[in-house]
Amino acid sequence: MVKQLAPISALLFGSALLLFAGGIHGLILPIRGSIEGFSATSLGLLGTGWAVGYVTGCLVTPRLVGAVGHIRTYGVMCAFAAISILLQALIVETWAWIPVRGISGFCFAGAAMIVESWLSDRSRPETRGKIFGLYSMVNLIAITAGQMSISLGDAATFSFFAIGAMVYCLALVPTALSTSAIPTPLTSVRLDVGALWRNSPVAVVAVFLVGISNASFGTLAAVYADRVGLTLTAIALFASVPVLAGALSQLPVGYLSDRMDRRIVLVGISAIALVTDLVFILLSPEGQGANILLVGLFGAAIFSMYPVIIAHANDHAPEGTSIQVSGGLLMVFGIGSIVGPLIAGVLMSDLGPQGLFLTTIFAHFVVIAFAMLRIMKRAAVPDAEKGSFQVTVPARISTPETAALAMGEEEADALDLAGDNQGDDPYQKDAG
C-alpha cells in the first residue's frame, strides 16, 4: 500500500492544504461579518457568490488546462485564492466581499478538479477505491481542522486571513514539485437538463432542492450559531460536526439504498432532516450541547442525500454515462447553491436566525412530496440492476472529476465502450 500511495502523496498533501485553507476561509467570513454587523442577507450573498464562481470554475477549468497545462493552472488557482482572502481582510465591506468570494469559489473548483483528475490518472482500477476513500478522508479531516482552528484565536483580527492565504500558497508547492506524469485532459461538463430529466426527474428536482438546503446551511450555519449566542468554539463545532456526521451516516444509508428503493431512503432521510428543521424552528434550543447534538443529526441527514440521489440517477442511466449524469447533476446542485443562501439570508434578516431552517424545511418538504409522487407513478429499479452506492465527499467540496475518481474497473470499461458507440442522446433508458 505504501508503494501505491507514494506517487500520489504530494497530490494528497496539496489537497489537504487546499481544504484546510478553504475551511478557514469559509468560516472566518461569516464570523467576522457578524462581528462587523453585516446583515444576514449580505452574508447569504457570500454563499451565492461562491456558488456562481464554483459553477463557472467547473465549466471553464478544462479549457484553461487545455490551453496552459495542469501545473500552471493549479498555481494560478492557488495564487488567486490567496489574493481573494487577503483582499477580504483589507477591504471589510460587503460590496467587495461578495464578488471576491466568487473568485475563491472559481479557484477552489479549478484546483480541486486538477487534483482529482491527477489522482484518477495515477490510480489503477484495483487501487482506485482505496485512493478515492483516502482522498475523501483527507479532505474531510483537513476542512474540519481548518474550521476548528478558528477557535484557537481572535476572529476579529487579521491573523486567520493571513494564515489562510499562506496555506493557499503552500498548497501549490507539493504539486509544483511533484514528479508525477501530467494527467490526461479534464472531464468537460455539459449541462443538459432535458436529458437529465428524461433520465430521472426525482434526481433533478431533489438535487436542486438539496443544493438550496445544503448551501444555505453551509453558508449561514455560523451566522445562526453566533446569533443564538454560542461561543466561538461551539460555532466552529456547529459548522464542522454536521459534515463529519454526514460522512459517517453514508455507510448505513448506502447499505439501505442498495437493498431497497433509493427513493424511499431519500424520503426517510429527508424526513429526519425535516423533523430536525422543526425542532430548530419551534423549540429554538438553547445551550451548546443541545445545538451541537441536533445539528449533528441534521448533518447526518442532509449530507447523505446527495450520494443517494446520484446513485438513483445512475441506476437509470445507460452504461458509460455515469460521469455525464453525475457532472450534470452537480451543476444543477450548483444552481440550487446559488439560490439557497440568498433566500435564507433574506429570511434571517426579516425573521431572525430561524429563517435559515425555514429555508431548509421548505426544500426537504418538497423533496419528500415529489419523491413520493414518483414512487406512486413508477416502480423501483430491481436490485439486480442497481449500481453500487458510492460514499462521496459533500457536494460542496466535490467537482465533476470526483465521479471519474470514484469509478470502479467495470464502470471505466463501460465508459470506454460507450465512448466508441455513443449516439446523439446518451440518456436512452426509461426515467425513474
Structure confidence at residue 402 (pLDDT): 75
Q: Band of the pLDDT at 190, cuts 50, 70, 90?
A: confident
What would the mean pLDDT of 105-117 be, rounded to a whole number? 90
Q: Band of the pLDDT at 424, cuts 50, 70, 90?
A: very low
Q: Is the pTM of this model over 0.75?
A: yes
Greater confidence (20 vs 415) lies with: 20
Whether 1 and 129 have beta carbons less than 8 Å apart is answered as no
In-domain check, residue 1: no
What would the mean pLDDT of 172-200 be, rounded to a whole number? 78
Q: How many domains does the chain have?
A: 1
Q: What mean pLDDT, rounded, does the chain reach?
A: 86
Domain of residue 17 covers 7-420
Q: Band of the pLDDT at 410, cuts 50, 70, 90?
A: low
Structure confidence at residue 324 (pLDDT): 79
- CA–CA dist 2, 276 (Å, integer): 43
What would the mean pLDDT of 1-6 be, rounded to a whole number? 58
Q: What are phi and psi of 306, to 5 degrees?
A: -55, -50
In-domain check, residue 87: yes
pLDDT in tens, 83-103: 999 999 999 999 999 999 999
- CA–CA dist 130, 87 (Å, integer): 38
In-domain check, residue 101: yes
Greater confidence (81 vs 284) lies with: 81
Most confident segment among 90-104, 318-332, 389-403, 417-431 = 90-104
Percent of the chain exceeding pLDDT 90 equals 58
Structure confidence at residue 176 (pLDDT): 80
- CA–CA dist 206, 200 (Å, integer): 10
Q: Please tell me the number of Cα atoms within 13 Å of 66 on its side-chain side.
A: 9
Structure confidence at residue 383 (pLDDT): 64
* pLDDT surpassing 60 at residue 221: yes
Q: Band of the pLDDT at 419, cuts 50, 70, 90?
A: very low
Of all residues in the chain, what percent are helix, strand and coil, respectively (each to 5)? 80, 0, 20
Q: Band of the pLDDT at 208, cuts 50, 70, 90?
A: very high
In-domain check, residue 361: yes
In-domain check, residue 431: no
Exposed, middle or buried, 379 (CB in 10 Å: 0-12/13-18/19+)?
Answer: exposed
In-domain check, residue 2: no
Structure confidence at residue 85 (pLDDT): 97
In-domain check, residue 432: no
Using the CB atoms, write b or e for 24-42: b if 16+ within 10 Å: bbbbbbbbbbbeeebbbbb
CATH number for 178: 1.20.1250.20
Structure confidence at residue 139 (pLDDT): 87
Handedness of CA 35, 80, 327, 126 (dihedral sign): negative
Structure confidence at residue 339 (pLDDT): 96
Q: What are phi and psi of 430, to 5 degrees?
A: -70, 145
pLDDT in tens, 347-372: 999 999 999 999 999 999 999 999 99
In-domain check, residue 237: yes
* pLDDT surpassing 90 at residue 26: yes
- CA–CA dist 86, 82 (Å, integer): 6
Q: Which residue has the cell 451548546?
A: 288
What would the mean pLDDT of 2-28 be, rounded to a whole number? 85
Structure confidence at residue 71 (pLDDT): 86
Closest CA to 430 of 318, 323, 322: 318
Closest CA to 168 of 146, 151, 153, 150: 146
pLDDT in tens, 125-174: 667 677 877 888 888 899 999 999 999 999 999 999 999 999 999 998 88
Greater confidence (216 vs 410) lies with: 216
